Amino acid sequence: MYLEQRLYETFGYRTFRLGQKEIIEDVLAKNDVLAMLPTGGGKSVCYQLPGYMLPGSVLIVSPLVSLMEDQVQQLKMRGEKRVIALNSFLPDEQKKRALMNLHHFRFIYASPEILQSPLWQKALRNVAISLFVVDEAHCISQWGHDFRPDFLKLGAIRRELGDPPCLALTATATQEVRSDIIETLQLTNVRQHLYSVDRPNIAIQVECVDSVEEKVARVLHYAKTLQGPGMIYVSSRQWAEVLAQKLAAEGIEGVAYYHGGMDSEQRLLVQHQFLCDQLQIVCCTNAFGMGVNKENVRYVVHFHLPSQLEAYVQEIGRAGRDGKNSLAILLYTHGDEDMVQSLIEAELPTEEQVRLFIAYRNDVRSMVEINDVQWRLLHYMIEKEQTKAQTVEEIIANIQAAIEARKHWKRSKLTQMRSFLFRPHCRREQIVAYFQQRLEKKPINCCDRCAFSLDSYQLKQQDESIRMFRGWKEELKRIFWNEEYT
């Protein structure tokens, strides 16, 4: 009961969730651990509780600024002052102070990109790191749906920091991805804690419609009739804005959009309002994914087809984190695959971009349009190829071959996603089998293949307190005015 007592004293929880205690016991025993818990399964407690019981500091590598900022704010709300987030948004003055006093912090959150800096690496070498945590560890694997090249260097960085015990956390990792995580992080005698990806409180529904116009009509219907809060996932920034505008035009209040093209103030405001129930619906790209830790999301609608099942499972996992019944609806119309295919093509660099990058690396962005994903991928590929004695043409040929292999892999993932839509089998069983697991028990509200009623997800009463989103500048004015004068 000792761990339960510490859990209650630190977080106010009487009992552990599934898997948490076993993971924490292995962490405290200084074992390397790979843990797969379902979305909303309480992964942060698995390193935060040990952080209060181990000497020194815990370094947490996190892929999203919004995710780490959310974790930092939650810790501060519990009274923890020795916590910091190292990312590109850290003001210069705070950065200078942090570099000199990094050893004073109990929890150090860092983006994988900032850990490439020799300055931060030097500062971290002067810190007694008792635990090295990699959150959303599937980003390490080139076969993971959120692959980030800078994650591949974490094994070497961990070694530079004295090889502290490592805890790798994920919610969606196939056997192939788990093997990549273990190899890249150089985990030894690793203890694996693998729990079902199934979220029994989320009912799953796929609807095939005849046109995009019908999709929009279905979204409007659900926004008016389903109990919120809700999230509507789209594949483009333009569609996030268009759907939010259509919902608002229909008189639906408490609606906003969120995507990576917005400036940081806008994004933080929308996230804050959604978390505080000032917004009921957010139309968003997957930029509003892992950073959302909101317990009472009642439904997630996919307006566009996800590119693979891993991404789909992550995104529907935003719903029902409080354990209450929630709903995931995917709207499909013929030709949705074409948009995903075009996104796959656009994400990966062309041969012209590869050649220009090699020739004019520092100035390539002034010569050809290249996005952040392409930039990071080319940096990684060229760095990898330059360790071999090759001509420029050989390097280009090898990179092109790697890009084609990645395209082929992404297309195969899309094929699997499409199969999920049309197979006449239980959707929950399909998801669990995809991750090499078995479904132990079906919930009453399982999926559209098993039949269930939407009645219990209907809106009971309109919350009159929800206000229309008036634009971020007006909202900031309102928030600061109220804080100052009320």
Count of Cβ atoms closer than 10 Å to residue 29 Cβ: 10
Contact assessment for residue 101 and residue 95, using Cβ atoms and an 8 Å cutoff: no
Q: Tell the burial category of 321 from Cβ atoms under 10 Å away from its Cβ (0-12, 13-18, 19+).
A: buried
- Nearest CA to 142 among 398, 476, 409? 409
Contact assessment for residue 447 and residue 427, using Cβ atoms and an 8 Å cutoff: yes
Bridge partners of residue 182, in order along the sequence: none
CATH superfamily of 202-338+420-480: P-loop containing nucleotide triphosphate hydrolases (3.40.50.300)
Taking CA 437 as the corner, what is the angle to CA 432 and CA 443, rounded to the nearest 5 degrees? 50
CA–CA gap between residue 456 and residue 446 (Å, rounded): 13
Instruction: Identify the pLDDT of residue 189.
Output: 87
Architecture of the domain made up of 1-194: 3-Layer(aba) Sandwich (3.40)
Instruction: Identify the pLDDT of residue 69.
Output: 77
Instruction: Identify the pLDDT of residue 483.
Output: 44
Ranges of each domain in the chain: 1-194, 202-338+420-480, 340-415
Per residue in 127-143, is it b (16+ CB within 10 Å) or e — as a string? Answer: bebbbbbbbbbbbbbbb
> What are the two backbone dihedrals, phi and then psi, of residue 84, each rounded to the nearest 5 degrees?
-150, 150
Q: HSE on the CB side for 364, CA within 13 Å? A: 20
Instruction: Identify the pLDDT of residue 362.
Output: 65
Digit-by-digit pLDDT tens for the chain (486 residues) are: 689 999 988 888 889 988 999 999 999 999 999 999 988 778 899 999 999 999 999 999 988 777 777 788 888 888 888 998 887 777 788 888 888 888 899 999 998 888 888 888 888 998 999 999 999 888 877 665 567 777 888 888 999 999 999 999 998 888 888 998 999 898 988 999 999 999 999 999 999 999 999 999 999 999 999 998 999 999 989 999 999 999 999 999 999 999 888 887 888 888 888 988 999 999 998 877 665 678 899 999 999 999 999 999 989 999 998 899 999 999 999 989 988 988 888 888 888 888 888 887 767 666 677 777 788 788 888 877 877 767 888 889 999 998 998 889 899 999 999 999 999 999 999 999 999 999 989 999 999 999 888 988 998 755 444 444 455 555 555 445 444 433
Instruction: Identify the pLDDT of residue 119.
Output: 87
343 by DSSP, 3-state: which? helix
Asked if domains 1-194 and 202-338+420-480 share a fold, the reply is: yes
Q: HSE on the CB side for 460, CA within 13 Å? A: 4
Instruction: Identify the pLDDT of residue 290.
Output: 61
CA–CA gap between residue 220 and residue 349 (Å, rounded): 37
CA–CA gap between residue 435 and residue 380 (Å, rounded): 28
Bridge partners of residue 60, in order along the sequence: 109, 133
* Tokens (6 digits) for 164: 């502290």
